[in-house]
Amino acid sequence: MAPLSVERRRREFWRRVGSAIFERRWQFVFLVLSTLLVGFGIQEGFVYAQVNNFSDQAVQLPILYSYADDTLFQGDILLDARENYMTFFYPVLGFLSRYVPSNLLLLGLYVASLGMTVTGMYYLAEHLFPGRHVGPIAVLLWTTWLPNPGGDFLHSSFPTHTTTAIGIQLVGLALALRQRHLLAAALIGFSANINAMTAVSFAMVWAFLLLRERELWSWRLVRIPLMMGLMASPVMIWRLVTSSAIIEEQSVPVETFVEIMRVRLWYAIFPFSVNLQLWVLFGLVIAFWVYAARFAPRETNRKVLWMSQGIVLLGIVGTLFTELIPVPFIIQLHWCVAPGCSTCLRRSTWPTSFTPGWVAIVGRL
């Protein structure tokens, strides 16, 4: 009888899944069409999402190829730096590319990451603005390929570890808002193995939201950091072990190290290196976002305000230990700092996350 009981539970599970999909079939159709529109219309994914060795791909592809074939690029300094690139994204892709052509692999990953991002965007908007049907508006606003004040774009024209992680994290945040805490923690924790920088930002946003919602406080919330830490443990161990080795070998003065990092990663770590024009433009975006809040439900504004405090805290910590009191260890662990530096706010990550807030005006109409 036991196997029969298991079989019944399995059938019941898939029946519920099928029923949920059928009830939301038009939502899924819209999300699929939006994904294909961005991937193959706006971004011409058949061309750009594949291997063309352009832009950032000129750096990323050799890393991917070196994981696929250990005999490539022997003696190249890129291989020495590769081990400090804390993501399992390229090792896994390199392994898979031994069996799947790189073009198909990158194209499939590109479409999948776009689909996750569109889905997360849709359900974030629907939750934050209930009853206004602004999910499609948020998705359509996001699909427009317009540069933001940071000089980046809302969505990439080719797959990276960041674009892949962002899709997972947006879905995780949407689940967190719906109080699906364990699943959300698993997704955000898992995404840290792909891009820990953005995972820390999403975790901080969620943490401040939980601080506000006291009615949810109980011992069960302990499961959230435990699940997140468990899922993120591979990259955390990698980072701690590697960082310790780097620090032991480091012989350059702190000032020299900071200047080298400022030249290489000023846009991701050092807010004082961002020119005034970009800060002014970013301020205009934030001003528009604040203006949109007057059209949003009061409860939504409260949630967003609390979540924003997490980003502000990261900004303060990041600025303190990169610009005012430079700490090499913290800079090397810039997945704890970079998203906190305000420079990251003006790049593609947070305009993507804040799009639901911008649809408040349209949702009011």
pLDDT digits (tens, 9 = 90+) for 274-313: 888 878 877 777 787 787 777 777 888 888 888 888 888 8
Structure tokens at 236: 């955390």
What pLDDT score was predicted for residue 353? 43
Backbone angles phi, psi at 20, to 5 degrees: -65, -40
In which band, very low, low, confident or very high, does the pLDDT at 331 lie, cut at 50, 70 and 90? confident
What's the pLDDT at 171?
A: 92
Number of H helices, E strands in the chain: 19, 0
More confident residue, 51 or 215: 215
Question: How many CA within 13 A on the CB side of residue 252?
Answer: 10
**First and final C-alpha spacing in the chain:** 58
**Whole-number mean pLDDT of the chain?**
75
Listed in sequence order, the residues at least 6 apart from 42 whose beta carbon sits closer than 8 Å to its beta carbon are: 143, 144, 145
Range of the domain at 253: 2-364
Per mean pLDDT, which range of 10-14, 172-176, 201-205 is the poorest? 10-14
pLDDT of residue 1: 46
* Residue 42 token pair: 């706006």
Q: Give the residue among 342, 316, 261 at the shortest CA–CA distance from 84.
A: 261
**How far is CA 200 from each of CA 110, 240, 319, rounded to the nearest angstrom?**
23, 15, 16
- How many whole angstroms separate alpha carbon 189 and alpha carbon 183? 10
Return the minimum-mean-pLDDT range out of 24-38, 61-75, 178-192, 261-275: 24-38
Average pLDDT for 132-156: 69
Say whether pTM exceeds 0.85. no
pLDDT in tens, 20-36: 666 666 676 777 777 77
pLDDT over 70 (residue 39): no
DSSP 4: H
Phi-psi region of 110 (alpha: psi -120 to 50; beta: other; left: phi over 0): alpha
pLDDT band at 105 (very low <50, low <70, confident <90, very high): confident
- Both tokens of 35, joined, read 């994904």
Q: Residue 365 — pLDDT band, cuts 50, 70, 90?
A: very low
Q: How many domains does the chain have?
A: 1
Q: Which two tokens stand for residue 154?
A: 């809302």
Query: Helix crossing, 196-212 with 223-249: angle to 10°?
Result: 140
Q: Are 334 and 243 in contact (CB under 8 A)?
A: no
Higher pLDDT among residues 54 and 199, named by residue: 199
Q: Which residues pair with 147 in a beta bridge?
A: 153
DSSP readout, 147-180? B-TTS-BSS-SS--HHHHHHHHHHHHHHHHHTT-
- Average the pLDDT over 241-253 and give the result: 60
